Amino acid sequence: MTETVARHIPDAPPETAAPACARVEHGQAAFAAIDLGTNNCRLLVAAPTTSGFRVVDSFSRIVRLGEGLAQSGRLADGAMDRAASALRACADKLARRPVRRFEAVATEACRRATNGAAFLSRITAETGLRLRIISAREEAALAMESCAPLLEPADRRALLFDIGGGSTEIAWIRVPDGPRAGEPPELIGYLSLPLGVVTLAERAGQDCFTQRGFCDVVDEVAHHLAEFDRVHCIGQEIRVGGVRLMGTSGTVTTLAGVAMALPRYKRPLVDGKILECEAADLALGDLFALGREGLAQHPCVGPERVEFVLPGCAVYAAIRRVWPTPRITVADRGLREGMLTRMMRAERTASRRRAWR
C-alpha cells in the first residue's frame, strides 16, 4: 500500500536528553544519533562547525534485525540478540564521550513487529538507551534533511529515494524559490513501500540472480511507483526540468563505486557525486553479471552484502524505469545525519533565544 501526504516538514523535535550511559558536558560537547534499521545498527557522533558538523566517532554493524519478520510478524530471538549486542557497543562508546544532545530511532522492523516495542524496552533496561520508533513519513523527512545540502539553486523539485532493509522510502520535495529562496525544502509527498533489500532477499533473493526473477521484482516495484507518480505528476515535472534525482542507500552508493571503478569504497569520493544514470545502469549490469561468487569478492560489495545487492538494484531499476533522468546525485548519508542536523539547529535556536532574554 502507498501513503502520500502534502504537508511541510515538521519542526525539529524538542531537546532530547542524553542517554543515561553517556557523560553530559556543555560547551564543545558532541551530538550523537543512533539509527536501528532492519539490516544495520549505526551510530554517529559529531561536533558542530560553521559549515555543518565534523564526525568524531561512528559505528556500524549488520544485525539483520528484520530476519524472518515478513513470515512471522515478530523479531526473532537471534536477531534481537545481535541488535542488542550492537546497541551495547554504541552505549559503551557514548559512555566514554561527552554528549550534549542525543537521539535514537528505530525504523521499519520495529514498526512492523508485534514485539518491536517490547524489544526496545529491553534495550532501555539493558543499556540505558531509549529508542523511538519513527513513522515512515518522519523517516523520509530525516533523509531529506540530511540530503538538503546537496540541492542547488536551479533545482525546483527533488525526488529522493532511500532503499532500506525493510522498506523503500520515496520523498517528493519542493525547493522554495522567489522570496522564500534559501528556506528549508518541503516534503510535499512521500511513499513508503514495505519492500527493502532484506524483505526482498528473503522472499525473492535467489530469483534476483536470474533475469526473470530480477525483472519480476522490477515490475512489482514499478507498479507501486507508477501509482505515486499519478498522484504527484512527477514524470511530467521531470520533463519540464529542474528536478534532481537523489539516492541514499547502500544500493546507490555501491552502484557509484562500481561506476567509478574504485579499487575500494571511499565515502568522500562518493558522497555528493553526480553520476550519469547511463553509467549507473552499466554498473548495475556489471553487478548482475558477476553472480554470487563475484559479488562476494567485489571490493564495493563483500560477502556480508551478497544477498542484498541485486534486490536493491531491482528497486533502483524500477525507479529508473518510472522516472528516467539523465543524472543522479549520490548521497552517502541518511537518518543519522538528518537527526544531527535537526538537533544542532534546535541548539542554535535555543541559544539565540537565551541570548535575547
Q: What are the cell numbers at 24? A: 553530559
CATH numbers and ranges of domains, the chain:
30-135 (3.30.420.40), 137-335 (3.30.420.150)
Distance, CA of 185 to CA of 162 (rounded, Å): 17
Distance, CA of 142 to CA of 140 (rounded, Å): 6
DSSP bridge partners of 41: 36, 61
What kind and span of H or E run contains 58? Answer: strand 52-62
Q: Is 322 within 8 Å of 235 (Cβ atoms)?
A: yes
Q: What is the pLDDT of residue 19?
A: 54
What kind and span of H or E run contains 308? Answer: helix 306-322
Q: What is the pLDDT of residue 206?
A: 77
Ramachandran angles phi, psi of 207, nearest 5°: -65, -30
Tens of pLDDT, residue by residue over 128-146, are 999 999 999 999 999 999 9
Residue numbers in the chain where pLDDT is lower than 70:
1-28, 205, 357
Distance, CA of 180 to CA of 172 (rounded, Å): 18
Q: Is 52 within 8 Å of 123 (Cβ atoms)?
A: no
Ramachandran angles phi, psi of 106, nearest 5°: -125, 145
Tens of pLDDT, residue by residue over 16-53, are 545 545 444 444 679 999 999 999 999 999 999 887 89
Q: What is the pLDDT of residue 56?
A: 92
